[in-house]
Structure 1
Amino acid sequence: MTMLVHITAAKNTRSMRRSGIRAVSGGHEGVSGIYCLPVLPSYQITHQWVRELRRGGQRTLVAVYFRMPDDEPVQVGHYSRFPAEMASSEAAALIAAQPDARGYEFFVSRPIRADEIHRIRGVNRVTGWRYMPDAHGRPPCACPICNPSGQYGAAKIRAAFGDTDD
């Protein structure tokens, strides 16, 4: 059985203990499911999405650890590329073998039942990357997709590139 971890808001903890993880995230080709990662020896890689997910407004996040059969199909790949479908154990080995596994993700296209959940616990608040892996040293993008109006520091970034907030 492959051990996976799903990062979510702490306010969802009671609901997940009672009825599992709902498949509400939109994946490729309009399929709904959940995003997760395999539990690897590196805490940093296993929980790499924490900091990026915090940018969405949730301040307290938890890690939901669950098991799924090794032969169950999942989609796996880097977030910026189209994913490949393979068995969960093969996908976990694929990510573990990467020299730099930042940005990889699993997509499970079914809900996770409450009896499949192994543990729910808090996560370190400063784990992971923001914007993209290796973003340090690169100037930020000033487009309205990457820096929407109202986001902290967006007006300053757009002003540095000569764009104005209208």
Structure 2
Amino acid sequence: MPVLRDYYISHQWLRELKRRGVRTMVGVYFRVPDREPVVVGHYNSAPRPMSAARAVRVIMDQEDARGFQIVVPRKIAPRALHKIRHVSQVVGWRYFPDSHGRRPCGCPMCQPRGEIRSRRLREAYEASFGGG
């Protein structure tokens, strides 16, 4: 994500990434040229190719930018790294934006084996169909 004035939007994916069991994450900040080809989109829609500068504008123009992401489809060279720093570990959302207070989907696609609490969620999901 680009570094925006809104810290929450810039670091919104932190809790979703931590859901995999990682305890502490850091921010790795790097620069890409404005004309760099990237893809941008909401996590549940098809990404669109465009320049890095235009992708940042797309996100900034959203009324609610939660769930948006920018992907740089190449390896980031070490010389492009700007800084690595500690970030707040409680920023962001899990599962999807506005999921707070809603039970996560328990289907095997959304809750693959080995994820934290996935077995319980899958069992509850299967029981809801009378199979458990």
The two structures have a TM-score, normalised by structure 1, of: 0.70
Match of residue 106 from structure 1: 70
2:31 aligned with 1:67, yes or no?
yes
Residues 122-141 of structure 1 aligned to structure 2 (within 5 Å): 122-141=86-105
Match of residue 94 from structure 1: 58
Match for residue 82 of structure 1 among 37, 40, 46: 46
Query: What is the aligned residue count?
Result: 128
Percent identity of the aligned residues?
Answer: 50
- The one-letter code sitting in structure 1 at the alignment partner of 2:85 is R
- The one-letter code sitting in structure 2 at the alignment partner of 1:111 is K
Is contact 2:31-2:80 (8 Å) kept?
yes
Relative to structure 1, the CA distance from residue 72 to residue 155 in structure 2 (aligned partners, 3 Å threshold; closer, same or farther) is closer
- The one-letter code sitting in structure 2 at the alignment partner of 1:126 is V
**Residues in 2 aligned to 1:66 and 1:158: alpha-carbon distance in whole angstroms:** 38
Match for residue 118 of structure 1 among 82, 92, 114: 82
2:106 aligned with 1:142, yes or no?
yes
**CA RMSD, aligned part only?**
1.7
Residues 16-55 of structure 1 aligned to structure 2 (within 5 Å): 37-55=1-19
Relative to its length, the structure with more strand (as a share) is 1
State the secondary structure of the residue aligned to 1:38: coil
Relative to structure 1, the CA distance from residue 97 to residue 155 in structure 2 (aligned partners, 3 Å threshold; closer, same or farther) is same
State the secondary structure of the residue aligned to 2:71: strand
- List alignment gaps of at least 5 residues for structure 1: 1-36
Match of residue 20 from structure 1: none
* Structure 1 segments (4+ residues) deviating >3 Å: 148-161
- The one-letter code sitting in structure 2 at the alignment partner of 1:56 is R
**Residues in 1 aligned to 2:121 and 2:64: alpha-carbon distance in whole angstroms:** 29
Is contact 2:20-2:115 (8 Å) kept?
no
- The one-letter code sitting in structure 2 at the alignment partner of 1:120 is I
- List alignment gaps of at least 5 residues for structure 2: none
